[in-house]
Structure 1
């Protein structure tokens, strides 16, 4: 008889004398699983993220590339050189890194009709620079929406040409002086005259001296050095920060 064979007599004796004293690992019937131990209570915090759903594409804030519906433009190239009367189909730029941005729309008359002898001015700008401008504008908008007035008065922009007449220059600089005394930031955009003669180097230098003299008259006003762009006689941007002081307020009265 093989060693693994158990006789029917042995099985009967096992059921009678041994099996009743062996504890089953399960309580209840053979088909009933034991009740599981209760799991410890786990508190799960739900973190809610406030998603900014606003779409901030550059094309939503600037007129770019094919959206510029002009046949001929004045162009400020990537090196800040002013090039008048350039047919749009001849304008070339690296579309991977740059955009063609509408800098100044074509002037219109009181009826909204464009002047036939006036042109829009466009500029080739890097996408990084445009993104920086947009983020700055959005940040200012968020501050205004929160009622945060710590950013100070809004920025003003003045456009001048190098060959500007004396009376016109005086009028523009008076406005600039008023803005600086109010503590505003003033961006001065200088460029060649769209139509007519080109200013001499001496005339350009005199315009810059006149601007600087106004800044000196406004106590606390300074030039933001890192913001100066362009070249004398071409397209140039200079930014000044005004300061509202008691002396300036007295001058306004």
Structure 2
């Protein structure tokens, strides 16, 4: 309200010019829509980098002692024919074979006294001439066993699983039994799982028993193979049989190598005895000659 003391003219001017400016008007705020952010550079996917433990790599010289790494000046060694040679200079042993194809590998260190000396020829290091291909194969096998041991797996060959249908056909059964024999001959553990197909023919109890009999006969044909664990499950349903094979070839190779080493030692002993006998005979002959010469001089 205008002040009462104002005259009528001032009051009229107040109503015309001042009063309208004092009234509140409806104000509608302007909404500003937020525009999406514009990327000037192309977006890139961030790739997570994972760091893995580097693979352990070993050279032959880290595992085996061969050729120039042998420190003893004299060694006992077995040549490529399996003949044992006792108390031979290292240089002569290294020059007795083709070094482009073979290594002279130290298989035993020998015995030394407190001064680092070998007391007798029997205490010398024993070496063997091995082809480079065979030594690399031994190294690869050893590395594979170490990797399996690090993963908590057994040192032997990996286990194999074989699945058989109770109503399997004759041709398929022959192929599967051949695989079973192959796995057992390699010395592997084999689990044979019997079962039925969802939409397949249901085998009779006689067929199931006949199938189990054929599997057992195939296992018996593999020398050294045996049942390692009692079977689990039901005949005609889901059944598992456990077998353990044995690699007889490796054992035969070990036995043959031992026999060759023994034969080589015996041969070298005979040669040494013959040489000693010849030297004794020569000494006797020289002694007899000196005695005769002395008698003739007298």
- TM-score using structure 2 length: 0.36
Which protein is bigger by CA-based radius of gyration? 2
- TM-score using structure 1 length: 0.42
